[in-house]
Structure 1
Amino acid sequence: MDGRNSYDKYAGWGTLHNTWRNRRGVQLSSAPTNTRIVGIYTNQLYVSSSTGSFTGVSSIGTGLPTTTGQTTTLQAGASNAYAFVFFDRDPAVAGVDLLYIADQTNGILKYSYNGTVWTARGSVTGGVTGLTGAVNGDAVDLYTTLGTNAGNTIYKVTDVAVYNATITGATTAITAAGTLVATAPANTAFRGIAFAPISPDLTIGLSAPTSATLNQPINYSLVVSNKGNSSASGIAVQFALPASASATYNSTGDAGGFTGSESGGIVTFSGGALAAGASTTLTVNVTPTVTGALMSGTALVDPSNTIAENNETNNSAAAVTTAIGSDNLPPIAPSIANQVATVGTAFSFTVPAFTDPESQTLSYAITGLSNGLSADNITRIISGTLRQRAYRQ
């Protein structure tokens, strides 16, 4: 139940309430003593049994009892009951109102409750033992173990009928009405079946440009993802900025409900929410103020471990480095003397090379030439025969 209390079943003893102080347990009810499966739904204790007056699924006491002398009440009969699962489908009926029972002789049995009595709503046939399920829109997806020998199977059966109508595929074999999910490997067998614990799994990735220019802003991108099977809210993210002597913080780019702020060289995003399988990208804008290797700090999601996750080891992203080059200053033009060409006479002139302060390769585009002249932008040579008098600057 909660780490300190539990319910167990023992042959000949029925259902027991145990605590960490009392490992022998307290027998809650003298009948039935041969219980099979124990379950709790909407804070009520239930058991299944295949003996005596309690063949089927019964409730024990009221709520979650801890003392002996509890009354056992049969809820729904099933001659060979094992696992069971309850649902609350009708708001007009208090508590659970839909029940499926795994009957090893008769298959998956369906019952509905109107607030007074449980009524049988048909069955899908087959020798089943384990059973669990989940609401899927207006339908219910059921998962059951079929057979008990090595190599047995798990099937999914979907009941699309309303809660108080006959089960979908009634009187049909599970192998025909359902979908095969898994087959047990050789020399092994499936017994009980349950959903894996549902929890989020938050991850974070950090990236930045591999190179940038001095005094030109850049963005760090933080991709926050939820790879788990349930949503998460109240998510926090922290990112350590580069040293203040090498970059200046500018702003954050918020998304997914996150709100960013900066203090003491740490950018904190708070208030985020991510559905299962969703992701969002946050950005941090800085301006590098020195050349060379600009190294960020690490990025963390859920830094205080306030959100329970199914994997707590993937909540960080390593620092990244950006190579910062000098400012992209304009090229320096050389001194170019005026050139004189005679109409009808061949002319050639090589434009002197410009100088780039960062020693980067320059490209040229020579335009505005007089009629009859052309330019090679690679060699910087202007040549040709002037056809008419003109003046160009």
Structure 2
Amino acid sequence: MDTRRRRLTLVVIVLSNFCAVCCMSLIAPFFAIEATKKGVSLTVVGVIYSSSELVIFLSSPVFGYLLSTFSPRLFYIGGLCLFGCCDIIFGCLGTVTSTIPFIVACFFVRSIEALGTASVMTSSFTIAGICYPERIATVYGVLKSATGAALMIGPAIGGGFYEVGGHSQRIRDRVDGFARVAEPYTSSNLSPVSPTKRQSRFHVLGNPSVWFGILSIAVTFFGTGCALPFYAKHLTQFHLSQGIIGVIYMTAPAGFALSTPLWGYLLDKHLSETPTLWVGLCCVSVSFLLFGPAPFLGVVPMLWLSILTYSIIGLSFAPVSVSAMKSIYRGARDGGLEDDGATFGFLAGIIQSSTYIGTFSGPLLGGIIVDHFGFQWLMTACSILIMVTCLSFLPFLVITLWRKYRLRTANTGGYLELE
């Protein structure tokens, strides 16, 4: 695949990931309002939200495995078509007036839509890995930047469409032309892996680098999944308008979206993923501790501190996300896997699954903790969970740094070069 075609492919993948995440987040400003009008409780609304994350968590490894047999463009185009059709159907659910049929229809359509999302995002990571195997961290950073921007922009777009044309108009506008974005995928480089190259890839799960990346992704997304649904209620103590709260919500995704490409470049060119991941996790853990803030710190909740720590969480989350991904890919390569479609598909499924187990379990468990102990203790629990992950892999960090030091001194004749 020539350079021009690879760049065009990357642009299309970034746009499709942006659209997929944007469309998933568009319903945030108004779905609860529409659902409660039909007699649906807020608890059920939360479960409907979480159902899509559960489906993506369960289906992403399956799609990753199937990508070793079938071409990723098949899953990419098929996922876009499935996603678009479900969006059109979801827009028609406003005509359902009975409570139970509305709930059942929302669960069904949202779950099928999640299958399309998992197919698109898993195949996108696979195609990106095939096109840029030597710059995988940079490309992953760009893709995560697109998803961060979508989380920031999606609710605003959804609210605007809802204000102008209602529930159905918002859906019709967002799915127009989805199937046409797949035009660049005609290269034979995206063909399925031949049977002679297929091998068992599950042995890489025994590599500490892989598990460090998996657990890091899961616990950090668990923390953000706990914070997002309940942060608005926490901010009401400062007597802010809904518009100001919406602007505050944009600070963390904005920092994440702007900084992930930079961290991807640094990890591809200069930085080692293991110490970067460990330090990033520590920063996220401390940020969550101050975000509440933790009751035992004796710090009174203050608006400026809340906004500052929320912004730092977004900035710290960027190196964690990118370095965790590279840690998983590094472990796979050390385990003998080749840079082919089968490997990228398998690892993309693992990464997606790790992400969505955090976003699924976070709101569910977070709601229980908030109800019984409050927002401050919820953020403290998230901080402790992330710190436990850091401490668990501290021996692995020390061993990794020691090996790098020995290798470097061996290459310099026993003397450590100063740069």
TM range, smaller chain: under 0.3
TM-score by length of 1: 0.19
| Larger radius of gyration between Structure 1 and Structure 2 | 1
Higher helix fraction (1 or 2):
2
